[in-house]
Structure 1
Amino acid sequence: MPSTALRVYVRNPTLERIGQIDDYTSLTVMPRYNGIGRFTLEVSADSSKANLLAEGNGLIIRTADGTLVDSGPIRAVDWSRSNDDSGAGKLTVNGLSDTEILDRYTCWPAPGSAIGSQTDTVYKISAVVAETAMRTLVNANAGPGALAARKNPLLTLAANGNRGPTITRQLNQFDSLLVVLQDIANAAGLGFRVVQVGGGLQFQVYEPVDRSGTARFAFNLGNLTDANYTTTPPTCTRAIVVAGGQTSPRSCKTVDRADPLFPGLVLEQFVDLTSVDTASVDLVAQMDQAASEALTAGAGQGSLAISPIDIPLLQYGRDYQVGDTVSAKVRETWMTDVVREVTLSCTAGDGTTVKAAVGSTDGDGTVARIYKYLAQVKKDLGRVKTRKAA
């Protein structure tokens, strides 16, 4: 039977591949959708490849058939040894995915101007397609279009696919670039990542691939070992948006969004847009966008954790990946959502095990779809119990 062990390659700071670690004792890698993945590798300190594992270098991790799992810089190399260890002990290598590069930067109000000229307190996005807005933020704050002192020479941008809806929003000065991208992408139903392409790191925006018809997991299909789901109640079902009041007249509005599991629950939350000039021509769009984001962030959430078994017809990396939409059967109900996170574990002498998280507290769209499914499951079970009691 062919090995399913993950392949690990080492790259130098200029992203050139300089070797392979084929004698590691354990490896855990966790790619994440719209987030920073991480990896942990353990290897004997006696390994002839140990000298390659240094801060500043990075790892490229692939499946046995060559599909990219994740890549990123090494952040820490720790050494340990106990009395029971033989040889020189072991090295534990920790690192992050290449998407972490976005977490190094903030969104400047005037990204084309020097720091001494940042007189504005906000950065406005007015009626721009979501992907275009995301690319512009990355380009102007960290990519090829950034100031020389801020430009990352390794960062490039994939071609613009004009994906997602048109958005209007206002960013506070020096908001985290990664957090802003997450807010926009999650609300627009888009994915983003930074991956190594040749000798550079490329920022990519994409729409999740719908594999729910072929990537289906259920105990009766023989491709699950365990599954569990959790739900978290909402924290906001009514957004109270207040704009102006400083240099312009005050404008207020409320926007409600009923929770599918708690339809009668009202939870009010203040949304501060007092820095926005109420004379702005796009005031309504800004207030609606702010309300939508507050309601999305405060919506009830659901997550499903499953442990799939690779079978000949359905294998991670080949048939589905992080960011793809899959289906899972939970308590006789099929639910469909994006694979948000996968944990792949591999040890010497054993194959690779996979644990996937479907849906998450990030949500997507108005309310995470998986939460709606779980709400319906609980309602259906309640009806069954009521009928039995009657």
Structure 2
Amino acid sequence: MKDIIYLDNNATTRILDEVWNEITPYFIQNYANASSVYHQMGREANAAVQRARSQIAVALNCAPKELFFNSGATESINTVICGIFDKYQSKGNHIITVSTEHKAVLSCCEQLAKQGAEITYLPVDAQGMIALDDLKNAITAQTILVCIMAANNETGVLSTIAQIADICTEKDVLFFCDATQAIGKIDIDLQKLNIDILCLSAHKLHGPKGVGALYIRRKSKPIQITPLLIGGGQESGFRGGTYNVPAIVGFGKAMSLIKPAVYNTVERNRNLLEEILSEIPEIIIHGKNAPRLPNTSYISFKHILASEIMTACPTLALSSGSACVTGSREPSHVLMAMGISKEDALSAIRFSLSIFTTQEDIIQCAQLITAAVHKIRDQSPIWQLFKAGLID
């Protein structure tokens, strides 16, 4: 029996052993600055950065020159949304996103709204999906950017990014896709998708923290983005700052190893978890009838608080939603946008599995959750009122 069963992999993942072995030499042996190309160690470090760039390009089926390294998805999101708003104001000031996007996107949009941007927040249905007609109808002559994630970080619900990309291409509007949760779990082939800009982070796919990449499609009319960080001219002047060589090397290695096929077992374990927990009365599996990531299950246990369940299960590493907002007493903005009541949203726990999650982990987790829910409900006056038919 494990001391801790870690089921918070949408927040961050354990680094792969192969990745760890790949990056350690760049801390203690070849620790040179990758921009110092006038000596051998610097050239070797630079070559390692370019090798990692090529590994990521192969995994995404894009050109290495279309990839720019940075610190992660939050930086990418800030760079793209703010940078495109700055560059394209002569065309328009309208940005379209979705009410269930990551807080990094929503916060950027809120900030730009104070600077004169017009923001449209597309609604979602009860499964967390947008209507493509809503997107088509929202695009105007003033629209400069559409921001829609590939997979929701809380529910795991997948967006129809191929169709969204085609609509944006037809309307001649830039499409930015936050694919942070999706990369490695589902197939994303950038030669088959009309995505203009895409971001990803290494730590979501068993790579190191603190490194990500931004894909910007090379087009006949180049996409213009004002850099967020300027400095020493790194990344063709697009992103200044000393290269985090160990993290970049680990990023490339992780991308070369993590493929959607390895998540087949993960999905079976996720389905087993939902099958067992479905024996508990009055639960809601959010987005169950929509296409989802193979590793994610977001479940409300009605009439009790998620925090009570997690406190009662100290050996389970779980979350009640996005790691960026966990700790807040506010209900998930994602669930609220899906039409879930505040009470049910506050009872929701996210289970996010990884390639390290075993069937034994799932069975033990389900047993602990089941016992905790029954115990808490037995002591809950609200549950007793529900059983008596006095409340819904």
TM-score (ref. length: structure 1) = 0.24
Q: Which has the higher contact order (CA 8 A, sep 6+)?
A: 2
The structure whose Rg is larger is 1
Bigger helix share: 2
Bigger strand share: 1
TM-score (ref. length: structure 2) = 0.24
